[in-house]
A and B are shown apart, each in its own frame.
Chain A
C-alpha cells in the first residue's frame, strides 16, 4: 500500500484542524466512538455544528487554549492509499514545528482564510515548504462560505499568491489552488455544489492522483552503515553484514563500491533482507549488505558506488533552522549528526539571517535564536561525506545536538 505524508500549515483560526476533521469525516475514517465523543463535546460547548478540531487537538493544554502547539500525526486511508497528516502549528514562534513536520512529508497544504487573503504567515509557510523542497503543494483557500463562494475573491487571492511564487528558490515545485469550505465540506472530499465555477479536483482527488514521480526527486545511491552484524554462530561463522537503509537510488549485487572514509574498494557480494537474498536493494529499503573483500567497516561509514563520490570535507556552509532556546553563536561547539554519523563541529561564521517571509536578509546578526533561519559555516573535527541538500534530501541534511542538554537544537541543509 502506498503511503503519503502531508504537512499542513495555517495560522491560528484558519480552520486547519477543521479541515483535517472534515477529511476524516468525509472519508468515513472517524469511528463511531470518536464521532460520538466529538458530538458530545460540541454539544457541551454549545456549538450548533460539529467541532471537528476536537478530533485532532491532542494535548490538554491545546484544548484549554484552543490551539495546536505541537506536531500531531493523524492517520486515515482510502482503498488506494494510506495517508499520514502531520498537523503543524502556524504560530510565528513555532517555525521549528513546521520545519519538523515538513522534513518528513512529501506534500503540503497551505491554508488561507478567504476573508483575510495572503498574510505574512502565508509567506512563512510557503518559504518553509520551499526550503524543505516539498515537491507538491496545495494552496487551500478556506472559508469560501464566508465570502459567498466568490470566484472573484478566489482569483484575487490566487494572484496575490502567484506574486510570491516568483521569489521562491526551488522552482521545481508544483502548486495547485483549491477553493474549499472545511466547515461545510466543499471541495475537500466531495465536489462543491456552491462553486460550480471551479473545475479542478477536490483536495482528496488531488492526493489520490499523485504518482511517485510527482513527489520524489531521484538522486544517487548512498548507504550509511548503521550497524555491523556479526552473528558468530557455526553456520554464519565469518559473516560480516553491514546493516543500513539505501537512500537516493538502488544498489545491486556486483556493484563496485567505495567505503568512506577509508576509500577502500570492493564489490557487493550479497544483499539480505531478513533470511532471503535479493539482487537489488531498492530505495529506502532496510537491508544488510556483505562485501567480496574482508575490509574494516563500522557505524557511520558510507558505501557509495565507485565513480559517484559525494563531497568529502571538514567544512561546509548550510542553511540552519534553529530550534533551541539557547542561542547559536560563533565559536560554539555542537555535535553534528549527519544521518547516522556523528562528528564535532564548531561554528565558524554566521553569514546572514534569512527572513522567512521573503522580506530579505539581515547581515547584522551575531547569534541565532529560536526559530531563526540563517547561513552558517561549520568546521568539523573529522570529514563527513555529503551532497548538497538541493541534490540529495537525506545526504544533504543534518541535525545539531547540544552536548550539554543533549537536545536536538537545530537542523541544517547543506549548500
Chain B
C-alpha cells in the first residue's frame, strides 16, 4: 500500500473562513480509511472483529471516520474466550451502545461444551488456540465474506508478509506461498463462494503509531492498559495476574502486589503484565517510546517456538 505517498504535513490557506480548519494529513490514517471503504464497497457481509483491545478500538474509530455521517455499515463481532479481563467486557458493551452498531458475541465455552474443541490443561494452558474454531464457525454461521482485524505487520516476523486483503479458504487457512500481489493502492477482493478475506487496515502501523493515535484522538481505552495495583506472581521472567482464576498458579509461586499495566489484552491466561507507573496516556506513549521489549515479547504463545505464529496462522488463527 502506498500510504507513504501522502503529503504528510499540509498548510491549507484558510484565510477568510474561520470555520474551516487545516486538514492535517496522517498517511497511516488515510490509508486505513481507504481500506475500510474498499471493504464496504467490495464485500456483501463484512464484520469487524473486536477484541476490546487497543488495536480493535482504534479500528472502530477509523471506521467511524470512514463512513461519517453514516453509521459504521457492518457489525462488530467478539470471539469471547471467557478469559477476558472484566474491564474489557464492560468497556465493549459501553462502546457498542454509544455507536449504535450491532454486536455479535460467540463464545469459546460453547465450542468446548459442544465438544468441538478440548480445553488445554497444565501450567501453560490457554484458550488462545481454541478461538480459531469458534471464529470459523461464526464466519460460516453468518456467511461473512470479509473479517476486519487489527493485526499489524510489526508485531511478528510472519505477520510482516501478510497482505492487506488476505484470502482464506473454506477451512480458514492461509497459504503464504500463494498470496496475491498487492500493487499500488489497488485491493483485489474477488473471491469464490465459501472463501473469505481477512482485512488488516492498520497493517503498516507500529505499536507506537497506535498509541500516539489514541493519544491524539483522545480515544477511550480499558483501564488495564494503565498502571494500577495488582496482585501478581513471577514465572519464567514474566509477570502474571494472580487476581484471576483462569491463570494457573502453583502453590510455590509467590504472590506480591505491584504497580503494573498490560500492553496487550488477549486471553488473560497468556497475557503477561509489565511493571509500570504510567497511569496516563502521555506516560504510556513515553514508556513505549523508550521501551526495549517488543510488544509480542509479552505474549507467551509466541515463545512456544520460532515458528509458532506462522503455524497458528496456517490453521486459521487470526
Do B157 and A58 have beta carbons less than 8 Å apart? yes
Do A100 and B182 have beta carbons less than 8 Å apart? yes
From A77, A226, A339, A411, give the contact of B37 (CB < 8 A): A226
Do B65 and A74 have beta carbons less than 8 Å apart? no
Residue of A nearest to B157 (CB): A58
Q: Knowing A340-B38, A407-B180 touch, does A229 contact B69 (C-beta < 8 A)?
A: yes
Interface residues of A in 176-206 (CB under 8 A from B): none
From B2, B291, B307, B310, give the contact of A103 (CB < 8 A): B2
Mark each residue of chain A from 48 to 69: 1 if its CB lies under 8 Å from any CB of chain B, else 0. Answer: 0000000011111101000001
Mark each residue of chain A from 388 to 412: 1 if its CB lies under 8 Å from any CB of chain B, else 0. Answer: 0000011001110100001110010
Q: Knowing A32-B293, A279-B20 touch, does A71 contact B25 (C-beta < 8 A)?
A: no
Do B67 and A229 have beta carbons less than 8 Å apart? yes
Do A394 and B161 have beta carbons less than 8 Å apart? no
Expressed in whole angstroms, the minimum distance between the Cβ of B159 and any Cβ of chain A is 8
Do A401 and B188 have beta carbons less than 8 Å apart? yes
Number of contact residues on A: which range applies? 35 or more
Do A33 and B41 have beta carbons less than 8 Å apart? no
Do B41 and A340 have beta carbons less than 8 Å apart? yes
Interface residues of A in 220-239 (CB under 8 A from B): 226-227, 229-233, 235-236, 239
Do B69 and A231 have beta carbons less than 8 Å apart? yes
From A3, A77, A393, A401, give the contact of B28 (CB < 8 A): A3
Do B292 and A230 have beta carbons less than 8 Å apart? no
Interface residues of A in 356-382 (CB under 8 A from B): none
Q: Which of A31, A77, A245, A282 counts the most chain B CB atoms within 10 A?
A: A282
Cβ-based interface call for A116 (8 A)? no
From B21, B30, B203, B204, give the contact of A285 (CB < 8 A): B30
List chain B residues, Cβ under 8 A from A57: 157
From A41, A236, A299, give the contact of B41 (CB < 8 A): A299
| Alpha-carbon distance A245/B25, docked complex (angstroms) | 12
Do B25 and A284 have beta carbons less than 8 Å apart? yes
Interface residues of B in 145-167 (CB under 8 A from A): 153-154, 157-158, 160-161
From A104, A279, A406, A408, give the contact of B17 (CB < 8 A): A279
| Alpha-carbon distance A408/B179, docked complex (angstroms) | 9
List chain B residues, Cβ under 8 A from A82: 206, 209
Do B4 and A106 have beta carbons less than 8 Å apart? yes
Expressed in whole angstroms, the minimum distance between the Cβ of B33 and any Cβ of chain A is 4
Mark each residue of chain B from 41 to 73: 1 if its CB lies under 8 Å from any CB of chain A, else 0. Answer: 100000000000000000000001111111100
Mark each residue of chain B from 1 to 35: 1 if its CB lies under 8 Å from any CB of chain A, else 0. Answer: 11111111110111001011111010111110110
Instruction: Choose, from A121-129, A156-164, A270-278, A302-310, the stretch at the interface.
Output: A270-278
Q: Knowing A75-B153, A103-B183, A104-B1 touch, does A60 contact B307 (C-beta < 8 A)?
A: yes
| Alpha-carbon distance A113/B193, docked complex (angstroms) | 48
Do A73 and B68 have beta carbons less than 8 Å apart? no
Do A72 and B3 have beta carbons less than 8 Å apart? no
| Alpha-carbon distance A232/B25, docked complex (angstroms) | 28
Expressed in whole angstroms, the minimum distance between the Cβ of B288 and any Cβ of chain A is 11
Do B65 and A408 have beta carbons less than 8 Å apart? no
Q: Knowing A60-B310, A286-B33 touch, does A71 contact B38 (C-beta < 8 A)?
A: no
Expressed in whole angstroms, the minimum distance between the Cβ of A89 and any Cβ of chain B is 11
Q: Which of B5, B14, B204 counts the most chain A CB atoms within 10 A?
A: B5
Q: Which of A2, A273, A411 counts the most chain B CB atoms within 10 A?
A: A273
Expressed in whole angstroms, the minimum distance between the Cβ of A169 and any Cβ of chain B is 19
Do A71 and B180 have beta carbons less than 8 Å apart? no
Do A3 and B37 have beta carbons less than 8 Å apart? no
Cβ-based interface call for B141 (8 A)? no
List chain A residues, Cβ under 8 A from B6: 3, 283-285
| Alpha-carbon distance A287/B160, docked complex (angstroms) | 28
Q: Which of A231, A287, A288 counts the most chain B CB atoms within 10 A?
A: A288
Cβ-based interface call for A96 (8 A)? yes
List chain A residues, Cβ under 8 A from B68: 229, 272, 274-275, 288
List chain A residues, Cβ under 8 A from B304: none
Do B153 and A73 have beta carbons less than 8 Å apart? yes
Do B183 and A245 have beta carbons less than 8 Å apart? no
Cβ-based interface call for B280 (8 A)? no
List chain A residues, Cβ under 8 A from B4: 3-5, 84, 104-106
Residue of B nearest to A70 (CB): B161
Do B70 and A286 have beta carbons less than 8 Å apart? no
| Alpha-carbon distance A272/B22, docked complex (angstroms) | 12
From B22, B34, B179, B208, give the contact of A286 (CB < 8 A): B34
Do A216 and B158 have beta carbons less than 8 Å apart? no
The 24 sampled A-B contact pairs (Cβ below 8 Å) are A3-B3, A3-B4, A31-B293, A57-B157, A58-B157, A61-B177, A71-B161, A73-B160, A73-B161, A84-B4, A97-B181, A227-B67, A229-B70, A241-B69, A273-B23, A274-B68, A275-B69, A278-B22, A282-B10, A284-B7, A285-B30, A406-B190, A406-B192, A408-B180
Report which B residues bind A (CB closer than 8 A). 1-10, 12-14, 17, 19-23, 25, 27-31, 33-34, 37-38, 40-41, 64-71, 153-154, 157-158, 160-161, 176-177, 179-186, 188, 190-192, 203-204, 206, 208-209, 291-294, 297, 306-307, 310
Those 7 A-B pairs whose CB atoms lie nearest each other, nearest first:
A284-B6, A58-B157, A286-B33, A231-B70, A406-B190, A33-B297, A31-B294
